[in-house]
Amino acid sequence: MNIFDSLLAFWSQTGLMNFTWQQAVMILVGLLLIYLAIKRGFEPLLLLPIGFGAILANIPVAHIAGVDGFLGIISNFGISNGLFPLLIFMGVGAMTDFGPLIAHPKTALLGAAAQFGIFTTLLGALALSKYAGFDFNLSDAASIGIIGGADGPTAIFVARKLSPDLLGAIAVAAYSYMALVPLIQPPIMRLFTTEHERKIKMEQLRHVTKAEKIVFPLIVLGICIVLLPEATPLIGALMFGNLAKESTVVDRLSNTMQNSLMNIVTIMLGLAVGSKLAAEKFLRIETLGILVLGMIAFSIGTMSGILIAKLMNALSKKHPINPLIGAAGVSAVPMAARVANKVGQEANKHNYLLMHAMGPNVSGVIGSAVAAGVLMAVVPMFG
């Protein structure tokens, strides 16, 4: 082979010669996610590795997201078998204080109400498939609906089992809407509440004993085992992390779950999700449908929590609930609770709703896991 042929062979293997416009578009998407993470501060712990993973996945020739590629190995290790979402839930449990929920149990209804977005969007996905030409089956619709819970690990856990081909779009939609909570929720909160309702001050929560906090995760796990075993992996990981925290006898384990393990898994999960954003898998009409349905699901979840809080106030005038905390029923912990507190303080600067909002917020985490268990148990029955 002469030098000209060698240069020609080398040139044919360069990225410039092998780039497609689709890959260029997805690299721009990756750069947008990185911009949102760095410049706007939107969920940087996840959007930064997801965005970088999207860039790596669309580099031509290298096959980084392939089975034997760097990202492919990570994905097969923790996404395909559902390991990463479970480890994330373990860390979330170790960082979560269920005290506000235990002190004010009826706020669990607000977390449950926020799950309406999941099942409403499931029906919406099936409607798009029937009337708008989209190719969503029941499994796809169930996976898309989970986005309404604003819980990225749960969305990944469900999608990898029911709709692995849609995992990238579903994961990006779920984490994007989690990151955009401060932009999406406030207009909905103001639309469905009055100025007077936003000013409602709630009573101080009662003291929750250590014994109550230790018993709570065991009770929740026991109920899950009896009624919905399919949700036990997620609920079990969440409650184990919380029990380690509240028992105070394994601080080393609890600290590891909250910090080192959580950070390592978050990096790997983000890169693995980014690997699913390869152009050939992501740039499809179904992706647009998923993004739109995800927004609808998240909006309905926010609205449902608020409306149920208003209904609870209508049925009982004693100890009124500020409806804003109902919006925290989506399980974007703790961002949704912070947003409820911020909007409440805009109406009344002496209104501190954060701890009250944490009740529905953490119950939303449990609720989304339960909804996931229901869907994973029921959907396969219908093929």
* pLDDT tens-digit series, residues 86-115: 999 999 999 999 999 999 898 899 988 888
Question: H-type helices in 58-107, by residue range?
Answer: 70-78, 83-95, 99-103
C-alpha of 371 from chain center = 13
Q: Are 135 and 286 spatial neighbours (Cβ–Cβ below 8 Å)? A: yes
> Which residue do the tokens 């940087």 mark?
44
Tokens of 159: 């999608």
Determine the average pLDDT of the residues in 340-351: 91
pLDDT in the model for residue 9? 66
pLDDT in the model for residue 167? 85
pLDDT in the model for residue 369? 92
Report which listed range, 10-14, 168-172, 239-243, is most confident.
239-243
Determine the average pLDDT of the residues in 12-39: 85
> Comparing 13-17, 129-133, 342-346, which segment has the lowest mean pLDDT?
13-17
Determine the average pLDDT of the residues in 207-230: 94
pLDDT in the model for residue 233? 94
The pLDDT of residue 15 is above 80: no
Determine the average pLDDT of the residues in 162-185: 85
pLDDT in the model for residue 28? 94
* Separation of alpha carbons 237 and 196, rounded Å: 40
Determine the average pLDDT of the residues in 104-130: 88
Q: Measured on CA atoms in the order 177, 302, 135, 68, is the torsion positive or negative? A: positive
Q: CA-CA distances (angstroms) from residue 365 to 20, 219, 236, 335, 361?
A: 40, 16, 12, 13, 7
pLDDT in the model for residue 7? 64
Look at residue 34 and give its three-state secondary structure. Answer: helix
* Separation of alpha carbons 151 and 252, rounded Å: 27
Cβ atoms < 10 Å from Cβ of 77: 13
